[in-house]
Chains A and B, each alone.
Chain A
Amino acid sequence: MSIERTSIHAVELDRHVRAIKTAGTNIPPDTFVNGLLSRRDVFQENVKKLLAEGKFSTPYVTVCFPEVFAYTRGCSLPLIPVNEVQEAITWRSKELFPFPEEDIYFDSKILDKTDKEYRMIVVAVQKKLLDQLVAPLLELGLKPLRFEPDASALVRLLNIGQNQHALLVEVNPVGAYITLVEGEKAVFTTVINNTPEDTPATYLSNIDQTLSDIAIFYRNKGLLQESSTQVFVTGEMSSEEWTVHLKQILKYPVKLLASPVPRQNFNKAYAAAVQKIAPPVDVYSINLLPTEMQSDYDAERNILFYKTLMFRFCLIAFIICLVSAGAYVIAAVRRQQTDNLVKSIRKMTQSQQGNTQALLLLNAQAKNVVALSSLRITPARKIESLTGLLNDQINISQWEYDDAKLSYKITGSAQTRGALLDFKDALDNSADFANVTLPLESLQSPVNIPFVITFIAKK
């Protein structure tokens, strides 16, 4: 965007630096008074009109303003680290500009580097001028990224060598500017105002006269050599006729300043837009953007970076979360289905469990029956066998049987010792009994013998 005294022009470039949108509007001459914005509302209205006309797709804007309100100085610095150049210039600014440091925005640019020093230009503008521009632009939603004097911007379109000189002549209906350019540096700008008292003829005559004077002045100072000097014409009133006319006056090669935008009055806006944007701290470009704004932009960019980063993280986490949620839902559905199935089988099983339990109980009982079947056998057969071993001379009065030991204890009397011994022998020889014990004292008497005899049953 180029802001001039009576007009505003804007050009939007694409990534291939092609002008894709342009818009321009005239503003009343009293909008700016001595470079200060005096009619803010009018200025804002016109910028709004410009934005509506251009339908620009970006709020980011690089702004150039009239060179006459800026101060450009050349200086040199000893070779110091590049990151210390800005601080060194800060110290030098007090002697370079006729304003207190706190009243100006300034920036520097390294033009050349020799074995001993940097050759630089330092550009300054009064804070009150720039601040009055910044605030309305911000209010309109624009984001200024760079401010620079328009001649400094136009110089980039000249393509002249570092030691060459040129006169940049800008002719507008309300005034003309003649800037001496050295390499990439706009050295000095002279203003020719078209005052209400001027007629077109006197205005043009003033331009011719001033140009001639300047040319003579700088030629006498050895700056404008015939072999290396060119004159460029631009501005709302520039035309081929002007180039022919000036060639006759100045005797230097004269050409219309060319830019990809066909209309001359968009040259400044194009020149402002075409330069790669660098922050004020960059020592290879001029950017008068207030440093606090740059800090805000840096902060905003950081925020945007982290916002984008976090947004992407959130997006990835959200996708993973969706996958997890999906997996959970699928697992939950499968679990629920299996649970329902298990419940139905369990219910069915429980309803039929009686059979199994009965069978299990039966099985346990059957095992017990098998295990205990031997215990069911009573001593009946052994007692029957014992009865068969008795003879008629033995009388049994009592007997005991212990199943744990399979032992028998028989108490009785025998009519003769022989009968008792026969009974003992019968027990000894029996297949059903063993360990027959007859105490010896039972054999003391030959007849009517009381006895107690013990034995065990064979299994």
Chain B
Amino acid sequence: MEQPKKQINRKTNPAYLLGAVFAAIVAINILFIMLFQSEVKTYRLLNEEKKTLDQDQMIIAASADILEKYQNEIDVISGVFPSEETFPEFIQAFENTVKGHADEYQFRFSSTPQPEGDKLYLPMTLSLKTDMTRLLLLFEALEHMPYMTHILGVAAKNSGGLSGQGQYDIGLKVYVQNPFSAK
């Protein structure tokens, strides 16, 4: 005799399957929420960056105007601090200045810039034989050179009196670009 019990089709409880589907959907949902949050966060950051870039654009536009308008002045200011690349030009200009105000001269400089706050300088030593008049003219010429120099000290030996011929050792700094080297 057949038992009725055997006739009932006992299937795997689909609620478990649906539970698994539910869990999967919840997990996907959480993933989407996290992705959404991430996207929103990125969007906000990008928006902030866009604002900054917009401001930069305005600055750039203004910069272009300024650069165009004050090109000559800018060229002068740009040359005040020689870089490693333009330092030979400085040396040439310096030598030309000194040459006209001394009977004999020699100078030495360090090739390694020294820091001074946020600025860099190269220490130099200039030794020359000249008289007081030409020395003062040299000083004035140095003041008018399109470079930033600073005389640290002077040691003089005047065999012919103060205004006569003398041997001068001058310590000075030449301020250079920071960074000095483009490498």
Q: Which residues of A contact B (CB under 8 A)?
A: 127-128, 131-132, 134-135, 138-139, 290, 292-293, 296, 300, 303, 306-307, 309-311, 313-314, 317-318, 320-321, 324-325, 327-328, 331-332, 334-335, 338-339, 341-342, 345-346, 348-349, 352-353, 355-356, 358-359, 361-362, 365-366, 368-369, 372, 375-380, 383-384, 386-387, 390, 395-404
Within 129-183 of B, Cβ neighbours of A (below 8 Å) are at: 132, 135-136, 139-140, 142-143, 148-159, 161-163, 173, 175
Q: B36-70 CB contact bits vs A (8 Å, 1 = yes)?
A: 10011011001101100110110110011011000
Residue contact A365 to B81, C-beta cutoff 8 Å: yes
The 24 sampled A-B contact pairs (Cβ below 8 Å) are A132-B1, A138-B7, A293-B8, A318-B25, A320-B29, A321-B25, A328-B39, A331-B40, A331-B43, A342-B53, A345-B54, A352-B57, A352-B60, A358-B78, A376-B142, A376-B148, A376-B150, A380-B139, A383-B136, A387-B163, A396-B158, A398-B155, A400-B156, A403-B153
User: Which residue of chain A has the shortest Cβ distance to B21 in the bound complex?
Assistant: A314
Contact with B3, one of A131, A366, A402 (Cβ below 8 angstroms): A131
* Segment at the A interface, from B10-18, B85-93, B102-110: B10-18
User: By the criterion CB–CB under 8 Å, are A345 and B57 in contact?
Assistant: yes
- Nearest chain A residue, comparing its CB with the CB of B60: A352
Contact status A359-B32, CB under 8 Å:
no
CB distance A356 to B59 under 8 Å? yes
Residue pair A366, B60 in contact (C-beta under 8 Å): no
User: Which of A128, A314, A338, A368 interacts with B47 by CB under 8 Å?
Assistant: A338
Number of interface residues of B (CB under 8 A): 71
| Inter-subunit contact A365/B157 (CB<8 Å) | no
Describe A's contact surface by its main secondary structure: helix
- With the chains together, A300 CA to B149 CA distance in Å? 99
| A227–B43 alpha-carbon span in the complex (Å) | 93
Give chain A nearest CB distance to B27 CB in angstroms: 10
Is the pair B43, A324 in contact by a Cβ cutoff of 8 Å? no
Tell whether A135 pairs with B32 under 8 Å between CB atoms, given A387-B132, A403-B150.
no
Among B1, B18, B77, B161, point to the contact of A366 (Cβ < 8 A).
B77
Query: Do residues A328 and B5 form an inter-chain contact, with CB atoms below 8 A?
Result: no
A379 with B154: CB separation less than 8 A: yes
Q: How many A-B contacts at CB < 8 Å in the complex?
A: 212
Complex partner residue of A356 from B28, B60, B80, CB under 8 angstroms: B60
Q: In the complex, given contacts A356-B60, A400-B154, what are 20 additional A-B residue pairs having Cβ atoms less than 8 angstroms apart?
A: A127-B1, A135-B7, A307-B13, A310-B22, A324-B36, A331-B39, A342-B46, A342-B49, A345-B54, A356-B59, A359-B67, A378-B151, A379-B151, A383-B132, A383-B135, A398-B156, A399-B156, A402-B152, A402-B153, A403-B151
Distance A331 CA – B35 CA, assembled complex (angstroms): 9
Complex formed: what's the CA distance from A334 to B42 in Å? Answer: 10
Cβ-neighbour of A313 out of B1, B22, B66 (below 8 A): B22
CB distance from A315 to the nearest CB of B (A): 9
Known: A314-B18, A399-B156. A345 touches B175 (CB 8 A): no
Residues of chain B lying within 8 A (CB to CB) of residue A387: 132, 162-163
Given the complex, which residues of A lie within 8 Å of B99, measured CB to CB? none
CA distance in complex: A309, B158 (Å)? 110
